[in-house]
Amino acid sequence: MVEQGSGEERRVTDATEFGRVVVLYGGLSAEREVSLKSGQAVYQALKHSGVDAHGMDVGGDIIEKLQQGRFDRAFIVLHGRGGEDGVMQALLQWLGLPYTGSGVMASALTMDKLITKSVWRGIGLPTPEYVLLDGSVETERQAALLGLPVIVKPVCEGSSIGMTKVEQAGDLHAAWVDAASRDKRVFAERWIHGSEYTAAILGNEVLPLIRVETPNSFYDYQAKYQAETTRYVCPCGLAPEQEKDLQQLALKAFSLLGCEGWGRVDLFVDGEGQTWLIEVNTVPGMTDHSLVPMAAQAVGMDFRTLVWRILETSLETTAVGDTGAPAGANV
């Protein structure tokens, strides 16, 4: 594991120190079904660890329920919009309720793939070139100039929902239509030919990398949550020094966006050995197909211990009024 080396993580040995914990899951995003599975898994793990945990499927009455519940902290397992984009973090912060994971600003930044890429490019971190699409022939022509294939993505969507690998220029418009049905902003990103890796981050540590292999055209929703043909390789097969370099890059990419607590950074290594950062997930999946639990298992950490460790990050939640912006950022 790679450690950031700054700051002491607060550890808890007595479940009563957490108080009354609400596990927030479900919600209204396109990732609702995954969130329901993740949330139930987290809730059961906390209950088995002796935590006074209470599950809550988030709906329009969330403010009233949180106020009536007299909770001491929240474990956020909401994927996508309304849970991973700073909205829930802002609500909890306003209510004075500590929560797991990244703060308001970092959550909002990383949910927007283009802002994430812009920040990385601005500080010299490697991420693939892209073109913003608007459905016009001109932007589709510009996307084709990236070199086919490209991957077309909604800007603010997760779990590969609305994404299409495009190998022929004539298919760009259909891909844009599909992505635009999910988000009003869509972009095409240069396809990286190489190996896909993911770096799970827990506190100040980066867990062992996992190499993801799928027979699908890319690691899509079906490959992530339904297929039994997806391979997760850990140890990832890289030389120890190369793996350490990728872990340090992932931690830098995560931290410079102001992210904290836990999360996941996805990246590729191309045929020339160049690393490319793809995106950050601040509330990764916690299902039986999910990557963070796999990485934790690789260092001997079972699911209940992982969930406990994530809940400990709620002890570091900043005070009301702190947006969770990167240190020194002028935002």
Active site residues: 31, 159, 225, 264, 266, 279, 281, 285
CA distance 86 to 104: 4
Q: State phi, psi for 16 to the nearest 5 degrees.
A: -65, -20
Quote the strand ranges of the chain, DSSP E. 2-3, 20-25, 52-57, 73-76, 130-133, 150-154, 164-166, 186-190, 194-202, 205-206, 210-213, 231-233, 262-270, 275-281
d(CA 313, CA 255): 15
Identify whether the C-beta of residue 75 lies closer than 8 Å to the C-beta of residue 55: no
Q: Specify the DSSP class assigned to residue 17.
A: G
**Which of 247, 249, 263, 278 is closest to 106 using CA atoms?**
263
CA distance linking residue 275 with residue 171, whole number of Å: 28
Task: State how far the Cα of 244 lies from the Cα of 258, in Å rounded to an integer.
Answer: 21
Q: Which residues contact 210 (CB under 8 A, 6 or more apart)?
A: 197, 198, 200, 232, 233, 234, 236, 291, 294, 295, 298
